[in-house]
Amino acid sequence: MAASMQLLNLKPFQSHSTSTYLPQRHSRPLIIRCCSATSSAAKSYNITLLPGDGIGPEVISVAKNVLNLAASTQGIEFKFNEMPMGGAALDLTGVPLPEETLTAAKQSDAVLLGAIGGYKWDKNEKHLKPETGLLQLREGLKVFANLRPATVLPQLVDASTLKKEVAEGVDLMVVRELTGGIYFGKPRGFGTDENGEEIGFNTEVYAAYEIDRIARIAFETARKRSGKLCSVDKANVLEASMLWRKRVIAISEEYPDVELSHMYVDNAAMQLVRNPKQFDTIVTNNIFGDILSDEASMITGSIGMLPSASLGASGPGLFEPIHGSAPDIAGQDKANPLATILSAAMLLKYGLGEVKAAERIELAVLDTLNRGFRTGDIYSPGNILVGCKEMGEQVLKSLDTKVPASSVV
């Protein structure tokens, strides 16, 4: 199995300036090659697919095709194992994360997730909610570092809700701690206070080692980008944030070449929409990262564009779009598959170290956008409105141009 986090020390983070280098248009017919049928593949990987709920199966189907074609250009073979999770697993097995699914995920080289959740299961008890399965999966895989890039592509700058001069050129990475903090802290639960009032309570708690390890990942990430790291906390109020800041400052001594700054989370939320270009790499805790990365996604024009990678010290990484299951459009061929396709590229780059195959996918997405194809969430007049399947076909068409990815050292 792939030692996910070790890849951060082996492979450089690529800047997003490749948007100016696009494959040329062509009129050749689409040829889909399934690498699993290629006996000459030099490398073979086991990938667990978790389509999940809502639009999840639709976007996973598209991403699987893209992975296969990209792999075939690099002599790679994939063996896919599709397993139930979330609401789909609840309907099949009565639990959101069956033991068989977790076992398959642990035994694979990487995991690609679609989306989980839906109105159907909203009233379930907490342990029977799809979202509980996702938390259990992250905990089971021991993936503690969540990398969420937010880049405003030149082709989509007009899709941003911010003014063009504010959004243009934004290229940031949110490094979110994923398995600690208030989402996992104990005690938690329900009860009654001294006045007999019903209460709900959660605990925001971090140990020093949890902060240290995510801080090091963030510093490594910043070092391979522009050398600037902003740590976001609420150290003026919360003791857990006071420890967070103390430990981040301590770890910063190991990275004298990285410029460290600090910002309270409320100010960070404001600054992200006021002047997002001031940020390069952001590191923050679980709940703040959850919120800020979703906010950052809208700077790019749509949450349907953003991928993510969740990595641990070793073992398979978990790769998923940051959008939800969108039950309102599920089954209508309206979903934007690009975030899942780009998550597949992150799977190749950070999960398997297959950087050239990842670059091919990234370039194919850029070329597809450059040729004017848009799903509804990023559509603007003058472009070509397409559905989920057609967007996938157009990415495959761009991928099949065989334009070489940039050289990687």
CA quadruple 84, 87, 89, 92: dihedral sign: negative
N-terminal to C-terminal alpha carbon distance within the chain: 23
3-state secondary structure of 310: strand
Q: Judge whether 175 and 13 are in contact, CB under 8 Å.
A: no
Strand order in the sheet with 171-177: 76-82, 43-52, 110-115, 317-321, 307-311, 145-151, 171-177, 281-284, 228-233, 259-264
Phi-psi region of 319 (alpha: psi -120 to 50; beta: other; left: phi over 0): beta
Yes or no: say if 243 and 285 are a contact pair by the CB < 8 Å rule. no
> What is the set of active-site residues?
183, 234, 266, 290, 294
For residue 381, whether the previous peptide bond is cis, meaning omega lies within 30 degrees of 0, is no
Cβ–Cβ under 8 Å, residues 23 and 87? no
Rounded-to-integer distance, Cα 321 and Cα 343, Å: 6
The one-letter amino acid at 207 = A
Q: Minimal CA–CA distance to 392: which of 15, 14, 68, 10? A: 68
Burial (CB < 10 A; 0-12, 13-18, 19+), residue 277, is: middle
Using alpha carbons, select from 366, 406, 311 the residue that is nearest to residue 4: 311
